[in-house]
Structure 1
């Protein structure tokens, strides 16, 4: 169904279809069919790291493991420290080399003569957590991304348990790690468990770390970080290809997928879905530019 429309100069120029699972309200579209949640799976995988014996240096590290960071200096230094605490260096990372997503950080890195490195990739925090968990368990490091590795089997089990359904398919995410297919409804169920779990449980520790350290989850001025900072208690994690999931204790949870993968529709639809739970959230407009000036917006239609 149509979940968003792009309005330019008062004219609807295009629309975006999608599905929205709402626990605590009315869902839209086929929310039972599996899909790849991409990076929205990360908090669930971090729960799997904890239940596999990971002992983080500090709780804030769980936010970075669960996030898709912009490689600002404080992100990169924390990943280095996480690896060092496990007796490892950046060379152990098996995620692809990349440049910072944050514009200022990228420009400064390049001006300093830097090039793309794995530690700058937005998933390096997750990979550092995976490696640290392998060290704790004595599992092989070189093959930690293999789908048959004991680490990945444990993470798949955690995702399935939290979603309340079996893994429907296995794929390879952009960072090279296995990605587990579940339904939008299952993803919403998992996020609700994170915020409703008892204090001190692996689920609640992940949710609390992310909410207490929103800039570690994404970065300065980014959607997830800004939204969590603006709405105390809200847990949010977006994923590539138009995916997002969020939960608020006492209200419920949502998960969405924009069918064509358009990131620009994700934010307005997420805000509209959260309002269906009864949350009072201000507008976070997705502006359409023309000649560098605002000429329209992306509007949710749900």
Structure 2
């Protein structure tokens, strides 16, 4: 693994921590424009795969088949953090589809959002599968199984038709052979896939610019999913998280995943970006992404400022006193 320093963190003027990783920036032909570290690094997409895992669902227009509202269908690609409006939408979806929370393969847990978690604890509520950040994805796949008459109890099996269609869609969009895609098991229990880092960037570029997708059905499905993500950004994560902050910009398609992986597509510029933080940190995503956009001379300063507001480069202690700073230090490969 050829990782390079991406972010340095200083406390009291002393270098305290370095976050290593890799970045790939690609053009509309999939060619590398810029990179830092190894752009070929094989990377599990984790939750960054969700927009692509939703392609078979969107191809069958499952949202229309079950009368789902736009903010509900957006949850197909979400890593929601369990705020009340997320749970309300999920419960509404399940009623419309006619499935039960117990059918979800993801485990019962508490919301990722700390305030939402505290609310559930104060109410003495037990863990629920619907609180899991991947429950929207699972709900969409169950709805597809119900619609197609496929077995609903084994939708997580790699040999299940829904999982076969997912890997086919991902391979097609990334332009790699299916046989070249390693699979593992994600945190929610579904199959998850690994691609070279630059192929993740290329896939997100196609999500942003679906005209690059030749197959009409796949192109339309990707366009519809991307549109829902931009129209309902707070459904994709929550009111104060990187994915939602980026998706408020209609020029961007964006989604992150566990262990530091992130993908972004820029529509007007027709550029794809992917990154991997080797220690899995999500806290440094805003610093890295904002720096990439600045180096690309991205025109929407509001988006960049929104990232710095989420996680300022100023480091403060528990009492709010400034004690250090972080800065992006990566250099593009020659």
Structure 1 residues 160 and 277: CA distance shift in structure 2, 3 A: farther
Give 1:36's match in structure 2, choosing from 30, 44, 47: 44
Gaps of 5+ in 2: 28-32
Report how far residue 287 of structure 1 moved.
4.5
Counterparts in 2 of 1:42-191, with a 5 A limit?
A: 42-51=50-59, 54-56=62-64, 57-166=68-177, 167-191=180-204
Give yes or no for contact 1:62–1:209 (8 Å, CA) kept in 2. yes
Aligned to 2:265, the other structure's residue is in SS state: strand
Q: TM-score, normalised by structure 1?
A: 0.93
Within 5 A, what are the aligned runs for 1:200-215?
201-215=220-234
Specify which of 15, 23, 37 is matched with residue 12 of structure 1.
Answer: 15
Equivalence for 2:34: 26
Q: Given the two structures, how large is their TM-score scaled by the length of structure 2?
A: 0.85
Aligned twin of 2:327 = 299
Moved more, 36-45 or 46-55: 46-55
Separation of aligned partners in 1, 2:109 and 2:326: 29
- Counterpart-to-counterpart distance in 2, 1:243 and 1:276: 20
C-alpha distance in 2 between matches for 1:104 and 1:14: 29
Is residue 80–residue 235 contact of structure 2 (8 Å, CA) maintained in 1? Answer: yes
- Aligned-residue offset at 1:37: 1.3
8 Å contact from structure 2 (residues 253, 264) kept in 1: yes
Query: Where do residues 216-295 of structure 1 align in structure 2 (5 Å cutoff)?
Result: 216-229=235-248, 231-251=249-269, 252-280=271-299, 281=301, 282-283=304-305, 284=308, 285-293=312-320, 294-295=322-323
Distance of aligned partners of 1:72 and 1:202 in 2 relative to their CA distance in 1, 3 Å threshold: same
Cα 1:134–1:297 shift into 2, 3 Å: farther
**Cα RMSD (Å) of the superposition?**
1.8
Tell me how far 1:48 sits from its aligned partner: 2.8
Structure 1, gaps ≥5 residues long: none
Instruction: Measure, in 2, the Cα distance between the counterparts of 1:114 and 1:28.
Output: 46
Superimposed CA distance per residue, residues 250-292 of structure 1 (whole angstroms, 9 cap, x where no aligned partner): 2212010011112222221122223333314334125533233
* TM superposition outliers: structure 1 runs of 4+ over 4 Å: none
Question: Structure 1 residue 55: deviation in Å?
Answer: 3.6
Query: How many equivalent pairs are there?
Result: 301
Does the 8 A contact of 1:20 with 1:273 survive in 2? no
SS in structure 1 at match of 2:274: strand
